[in-house]
Copies of this chain bind each other. A is one copy, B any other.
Amino acid sequence: MSYKIKSRIWIESDNNVLLGEGRVHLLKAIQETGSLSKAAKSLNISYKKAWQLLDSVNRSAKKPVTINSIGGKGGGGAELTDYGKSLINAFDEINKNCWAFLDQQLEKIEAL
């Protein structure tokens, strides 16, 4: 059994976390369900936690990541902006590149 190298990356803005893996999961779920409460259910996290995460994301980002509407048809909903969609794509790409980079670096440990 050989060693494995793992990583977690996140992006900060002015010392606040903007994006991490959990937040990206949440944004993807919002994209699929069109609602924050449904996204929370699909991820098995409380609505409170989901709301706090999304609020933090939007307060940290330079431009809005989601548009949340209260009331109206169906009670409201949440959807990603174009900026939000671009962010999660870029994050996923960086994350995959990082994994590949680290797997290659791991040889330095295996060789010891």
- Please list the residues of chain A having a beta carbon within 8 angstroms of any beta carbon in chain B: 1-14, 18, 83, 86-87, 90-91, 93-94, 97-98, 101-102, 105-106, 108-109, 112
Contacts and interface: CB of A to CB of B under 8 A. Distances in A.
Given A98-B105, A105-B97, A109-B90, A3 B7 contact: no
A6 B91 CA distance: 12
Contacts of A97: 101, 105
Contacts of A91: 109
A11 B7 contact: no
Residue from A1, A91, A102, A106 with most neighbouring chain B CB atoms (10 Å): A102
Nearest to A97: B105
